Amino acid sequence: MQSVQQMTANDIEPSWRAVLRLIAFRPWIFLLSSAGIISFYLWPLLPGLFIRQLFDLLSSRTPLTNDPQATIWALVAVLIGVAIARSLTTLAYPFGEKAVMLIVETLMRHNLLRHMLGRPGAQALPPDSSPGEAVSRLRDDMGHISIFMTWTADPIGQVLTFSIAFITLAQIDLRITIFGFLPLVVILTLVNTLNSRIRRYRQAAQESIGQVTGLLGEIFGAVQAVKVAGAEAHVVAHLHQVNEQRRTATLRDQLLTKLIDAFSFGAANIATGVLLLLAAQAFQQGQFTVGDFALFASYLGWMAFVMGMVGGYVTKYQQVGISLRRAVALLQGAPSLRLTQHDGSVRMRGALPPVPTPAPQAVEALRTLSVTGLTYHYPDSERGITGIDLQLVAGQFVVITGRIGSGKSTLVRALLGLLPPQAGQVCWNGQPVADLTAFMSPPQVAYTPQVPRLFSEPLRDNLLMGMPDDQLQRAIYHAALEHDVPRLDHGLDTLVGPRGVRLSGGQMQRAAAARMFVRTPQLLVFDDLSSALDVETERLLWERLASHSQHTTVLAVSHRRAALQRADQIIVLKDGQIAGQGRLAELLETSAELRELWRTEKDDTGHSS
């Protein structure tokens, strides 16, 4: 299995190729936007030509017509018309730029989210990326790429502008023209020398922003734990430290970018001043007309600005490569072209498509679930499970138990496809399951992890999540939640807050159980469901679960006595392998591992035996 660290440079599209693929998504919009950008560079060249004729006419050096006054007014009218056209273009092309940005960001975010949501649930993000870091990449890096896309036509406009200006000015004085274009060579040489530093500073800045975003998300999600531990001051101090690193990295990145801009514009402006002095000298010697001097002054000022833009473009090209690599890292080894692919699934016009209603699935009633040789080891680690063999029969209550780190949660996740098994096979009624992620979900299987995830929505929506409510009250009863709901401020319409923080730990676990029951699956999988429940509530929950249906099959991770005593089969794990399997009475005699777990677990009165 390829990790993010194993991706080579060959796995990542060159920046220019990714840009071309993004342009091909909506080429006409890019062409219209590019036309506006190119005209932005070309419009300022026109006034210089008319100003040259106007000044030459005023100085009577080159009379153009028998009616100079009419010609002057005609030239003035043309200049006004050019100014109006340029202003209209300047007002219009930002709309094209914004359209390009929105299109590019939509396409890339769609592709990234579709890929991440299609991965095994426990590996949706790279191992070194937190949800906050992923948000930073989806937000900031996509923004940097989209901004660069608005610069894609700039080199065309710059080349055309330089070519027209060079040819026009060279016809007047080739020596002065060549000297005027030397700063461009100096600017490009400087930026090329700083390429590695530009990329390094941009990467450090983006990573530091992601760290701050990720830390804020973790803090907001663990406010209660922070307050209970009395660690507010330490958490704020750590946030200040991380934010200071972000400030330093961002300042370094922005400072380098601004210094390059300042050098680009400054060097060009200095050269423009020198050129104007040379042009003035040529004017005094009779080699220039007043119009020629005005043309040089007009063009060289604009060339100074364009030269600065050239330095900015080359800098942004180096920086966008970092954003592309950070985005591709979210693909976790998938071909980098997935970031920019367009298959017609992104709709940019018309009404939003209706939310698809899942077609009813043909559910094959569970008779047996067998697991053979199931193996999964975490990357660069020996932790995991090896060669797990087990079998469940419909209606059984099976408990997986073991010490911390023995592989209980890993086994459940691999069985459900949340972690991609590296070996082994899972069979439903004797038939191999080809795609665990797709099959081991409702209506076949429902799962509740160790820490249930609730959304900051009403409790009702958290339980149903799009399902009809005909099973809701029944699910609440079997989850032993019927006495808790009336005590909430607004009953089922109570907002539970981010991650369900307005509920107790036990209420969150039972709400997650009710969410499973609403879906009436064939197999219920609990990962330490009762860890936050008191003994009586836990006993009541298991009793109601047993009476839920005689065909309900349960696979539960637990070390609690109430679950072990009720189990039809207990699977004891140790170091990722099965250390014992059977009924409680049998294992208490044959398994030292279970005897130790039983000894350290509290009895029903809350005392250790």
- The predicted-structure confidence for 527-582, as pLDDT tens digits, reads as follows 887 776 777 888 888 888 777 656 678 999 988 888 898 899 999 999 999 999 99
Q: How far apart are CA 173 and CA 591, in angstroms?
A: 98
Q: What is the pLDDT at residue 232?
A: 85
- Are residues 305 and 404 part of one domain? no
Q: What is the pLDDT at residue 224?
A: 67
pLDDT tens digit sequence for 167-204:
888 888 787 777 766 776 777 677 777 777 888 888 88
- Inter-residue contact 311 to 261 (CB < 8 Å): yes
Q: What is the pLDDT at residue 315?
A: 81
Give yes or no for residue 98 having a pLDDT over 80.
yes
In this prediction, residues 502-513 reach a mean pLDDT of 87
Give yes or no for residue 605 having a pLDDT over 60.
no
Lowest mean per-residue pLDDT among 153-167, 386-400, 402-416:
153-167
Question: Does 83 or 462 have the greater pLDDT score?
Answer: 462
pLDDT more than 70, % of the chain: 85
**Does any domain span residue 86?**
yes
Provide the mean pLDDT of the chain.
81
- Are residues 372 and 278 part of one domain? no
Q: What is the pLDDT at residue 153?
A: 87
Instruction: Report which listed range, 78-87, 288-297, 447-456, is most confident.
Output: 447-456
Q: How far apart are CA 208 and CA 214, in angstroms?
A: 10
Three-class SS of 73-113: HHHHHHHHHHHHHHHHHHHHHHHHHHHHHHHHHHHHHHHHH
30 pLDDT tier (thresholds 50, 70, 90): confident
Name which of 349, 416, 337 is nearest 12 in CA terms: 337
106's tokens:
């939509």
Side-chain-side CA neighbours of 182 within 13 Å: the count stands at 12
- Inter-residue contact 81 to 59 (CB < 8 Å): no
- Are residues 178 and 316 part of one domain? yes
**Does any domain span residue 344?**
no
**Does any domain span residue 243?**
yes
Q: CA separation (Å) from 190 to 185, 276, 310?
A: 9, 25, 12
Name which of 213, 238, 201 is nearest 133 in CA terms: 213
Q: How far apart are CA 8 and CA 259, in angstroms?
A: 32
209 pLDDT tier (thresholds 50, 70, 90): confident
- Are residues 382 and 313 part of one domain? no
Name which of 525, 510, 528 is nearest 564 in CA terms: 528
Q: What is the pLDDT at residue 585?
A: 92
pLDDT tens digit sequence for 346-387:
777 777 777 666 555 667 789 999 999 999 998 877 789 999
**Does any domain span residue 347?**
no
Give yes or no for residue 76 having a pLDDT over 80.
no
- Are residues 394 and 299 part of one domain? no
Q: What is the pLDDT at residue 502?
A: 83
Q: CA separation (Å) from 317 to 138, 149, 510?
A: 19, 10, 52
Task: Give the CATH number for residue 193.
Answer: 1.20.1560.10
**Does any domain span residue 361?**
no
Give yes or no for residue 10 having a pLDDT over 50.
no
pLDDT tens digit sequence for 492-505:
999 888 777 788 88
**Does any domain span residue 352?**
no
- Are residues 321 and 227 part of one domain? yes
Domain total in the chain: 2
0.75 exceeded by pTM? no
Q: What is the pLDDT at residue 455?
A: 86
348's tokens:
């940019």
Q: How far apart are CA 306 and CA 264, in angstroms?
A: 9
Residues in the chain: 609
Side-chain-side CA neighbours of 274 within 13 Å: the count stands at 16
Q: What is the pLDDT at residue 5?
A: 38
Last residue of a domain, one of 339, 360, 386: 339
- Are residues 166 and 67 part of one domain? yes
Three-class SS of 200-242: HHHHHHHHHHHHHHHHHHHHHHCHHHHHHHCCHHHHHHHHHHH
Q: What is the pLDDT at residue 604?
A: 44
- Domain that residue 594 falls in: 368-600
Give yes or no for residue 243 having a pLDDT over 50.
yes
Q: What is the pLDDT at residue 544?
A: 82
Q: What is the pLDDT at residue 336?
A: 86
Name the H helices within 119-231: 131-136, 142-149, 154-170, 174-193, 195-221, 223-229
586 pLDDT tier (thresholds 50, 70, 90): very high
- Are residues 583 and 507 part of one domain? yes
Q: What is the pLDDT at residue 92?
A: 66
- Are residues 482 and 416 part of one domain? yes
**Does any domain span residue 324?**
yes
- Are residues 157 and 272 part of one domain? yes
Which neighbouring-strand residues pair with 170? none
200's tokens:
């390094």
The torsion angle over the Cα atoms of residues 405, 408, 411 and 414, rounded to 10 degrees, is -80
Task: Give the CATH number for residue 506.
Answer: 3.40.50.300
Lowest mean per-residue pLDDT among 81-95, 380-394, 431-445:
81-95
Q: What is the pLDDT at residue 65?
A: 53
Q: What is the pLDDT at residue 355?
A: 65
Task: Kindly provide the b/e burial profile for residues 219-252, where b requires at least 16 CB atoms within 10 angstroms of the residue's own CB.
Answer: beebeeebeeeeeeeebeeeeeebbeebeebbeb
Q: What is the pLDDT at residue 609?
A: 37
- Are residues 413 and 327 part of one domain? no
- Are residues 323 and 198 part of one domain? yes
Q: What is the pLDDT at residue 3?
A: 37
- Inter-residue contact 462 to 516 (CB < 8 Å): no
**Does any domain span residue 433?**
yes
Rg (alpha carbons) of the chain, rounded to whole number:
35
